[in-house]
């Protein structure tokens, strides 16, 4: 079936995209407002987009009132944010921080989360998260009237010591992180169910079949 997204009813594009483009990693974003209020919220329109410089993107949809969400506004005001990754053990706390709390409510207190200072940016990081990316705003792209694409440069990465296998070589115990991703609706996935495919190289193919 073909869906022409220029003519489908409102909301259909969202349903089709989130039902098919999955699993999606979750950015558990910490920001700080101009008044110094710390905001925590999860976003699954997120990924890494390069390493020179290290680059991440966040897609932030409108808030329920039609305006910018607190996270988006804080990033635009301060130019800084921290992306924390979500292990299975913190999935419930992450979900709680997605609540539509009014401005001024601390999601950290609501979810019982301890935050700890970052090194290069003002927003803190979530202490219990095994991975945190300190980011600086590179660019904001308005992809719709109230839809915002945030492009950020990763300035530093915190990884819990027990998951670092070889610091010099940058080797990490990825399965041990036990991260979760977003599926469709209220469904999430764990990243421990994996299979391996070695990347092919043309020279190897030629060596096996010269003709």
Cis peptide before 23 (omega within 30 of 0): yes
Yes or no: say if 132 and 84 are a contact pair by the CB < 8 Å rule: yes
Global pTM?
A: 0.90
All domains in the chain, ordered by first residue: 12-208 (2.30.110.10)
* Cα-Cα-Cα-Cα dihedral sign, residues 125, 129, 132, 137: negative
Q: How far apart, in whole angstroms, are the C-alpha atoms of residue 25 and residue 44?
A: 6
Say how far apart CA 121 and CA 83 lie, in whole Å: 12
What tens digit of pLDDT does each residue of 25-41 get?
Answer: 999 999 999 999 999 99
Share of the chain above pLDDT 90, in %: 67
- Segments of the chain scoring below 70 in pLDDT: 66, 210-211
Torsion of CA 124, 72, 150, 62, to 10 degrees: 140
């Amino acid at each position: 079936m073909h869906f022409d997204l220029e003519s489908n009813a409102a909301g259909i594009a969202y349903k089709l995209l989130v039902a098919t483009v999955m699993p999606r990693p979750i950015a558990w974003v910490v920001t700080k407002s101009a008044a110094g209020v710390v905001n925590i919220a999860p976003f699954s329109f997120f990924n890494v987009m390069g390493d020179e410089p290290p680059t991440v993107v966040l897609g932030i949809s409108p808030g329920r009132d039609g305006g910018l969400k607190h996270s988006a506004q804080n990033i635009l005001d301060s130019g800084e944010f921290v992306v924390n990754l979500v292990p299975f053990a913190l999935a419930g706390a992450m979900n709680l921080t997605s609540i539509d709390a009014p401005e001024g409510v601390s999601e950290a207190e609501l979810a019982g989360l301890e935050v700890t200072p970052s090194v290069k940016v003002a927003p803190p990081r979530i202490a219990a998260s095994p991975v945190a990316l300190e980011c600086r705003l590179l660019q904001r792209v308005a992809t719709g009237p109230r839809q915002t694409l945030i492009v950020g440069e990763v300035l530093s990465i915190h990884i819990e010591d027990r998951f670092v296998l070889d610091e010099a070589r940058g080797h990490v115990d990825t399965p041990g992180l036990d991260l979760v991703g977003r599926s469709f609706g209220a469904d999430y996935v764990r990243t421990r169910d994996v299979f391996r495919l070695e990347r092919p190289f043309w020279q190897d193919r030629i060596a096996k079949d010269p003709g």
